[in-house]
Amino acid sequence: MQKRYLGNSGLAVSAIGLGCMGLNFGYGPATERGQAIALIRSAFDKGVTFFDTAEVYGPFTNEEVVGEALAPFREQVVIATKFGFATDPQSGKVVGLNSRPDHIRQVVEASLRRLRVEAIDLLYQHRVDPQTPIEDVAGTVKDLIHQGKVKHFGLSEAGVHTIRRAHAVQPVTALQSEYSLFWREPEDEILPTLQELGIGFVPFSPLGKGFLTGAITVDTQFGETDFRNQVPRLSAQARQANQAVVEVLGELAAAKNATRAQVAIAWLLAQKPWIVPIPGTTKLHRLDENLGAAEVALSSGELDALEQAMAGIIFQGDRYPPQFMKMIDR
């Protein structure tokens, strides 16, 4: 697989990464550990060198699985993880935000152990903490970089003002936020700012939490512990209204002898050379499908036609429930 550089940082990663969250968190029961490790190693065998996790996925178990899976290839991969949430010490459940310097240091030490690494390749602030100045956050990560415990600094779901303030203290290598044909808000201010500052962009949910694949219909029933039950944009009523994007993708996919998922990811890759999507999956055949997007080239005419078709679609529903929307920095 071709490599891409995250902005001006010099950090080279596979053009498509693997979001590992769903193996342990968010979409229902955790994948059996051996199967999860096999899937991660299969991704590496197929050319993926960029793997994304976080302390709260599981919680904590996702980092352990990623660390075990990638231990044999440690020097050939880039592992990204995140800090920024406060968790209940008993249950591990998220109870708020916490990016205080002492907490960042504690999280990093624990993540290093779970990931079985001497340094974290890319460390994101998972969500911006309004109670902690971003300058303090960036300064703490800068110290950790000088100590050799972290290599690169990232932000997630940060607004342009926060990005600029953080970047002035410690250069930001990458921003991770949601971006897809299902959610295009980053195009307004985020992408121009990243271009100006030389920061890479790592879109999560590049398939709209599965909706863009066409596998989710009005009749789909999510599992009891699947967080998509809480997503307004994926309510049954919203799915009916938002089905138009699936139809548009289906037409282009048929013409390209590809799948909707592959066209959706290829569209992201075509936006900027410093964009690296991280689709996640628990299934090997979906992994193959997603990575196949790297071989799907969309012409300027196809991109224009897709843009014109998308212009007539008005999506219904927020991408998160209200309590999560409050955690997104504007």
Catalogue the active-site residues: 57
Determine the Cα–Cα distance for residues 52 and 63; give it in Å rounded to an integer. 9
The residue behind tokens 């968190």 is 25
Q: Please spell the DSSP secondary structure of 290-325, one letter per residue.
A: HHGGGG-PPPHHHHHHHHHHHHT----S-SS-HHHH
Q: Residues near 40 by Cβ (< 8 Å), separated by ≥ 6?
A: 18, 20, 23, 51, 65, 66, 69, 70
Determine the Cα–Cα distance for residues 190 and 188; give it in Å rounded to an integer. 6
Determine the Cα–Cα distance for residues 154 and 278; give it in Å rounded to an integer. 15
What number of other Cβ atoms are within 10 A of residue 235's Cβ? Answer: 17
**Closest Cα to residue 199, out of 229, 239, 158?**
158
Determine the Cα–Cα distance for residues 279 and 290; give it in Å rounded to an integer. 7
CB 187 within 8 A of CB 195: no
The residue behind tokens 């199967």 is 35
Cα 249–chain centre separation: 21
312 CB-side CA count, 13 A: 8
Determine the Cα–Cα distance for residues 268 and 280; give it in Å rounded to an integer. 15
Q: 108: exposed, middle or buried (C-beta count within 10 Å: 0-12, 13-18, 19+)?
A: buried
Q: How far apart are the first and last CA of the chain?
A: 35
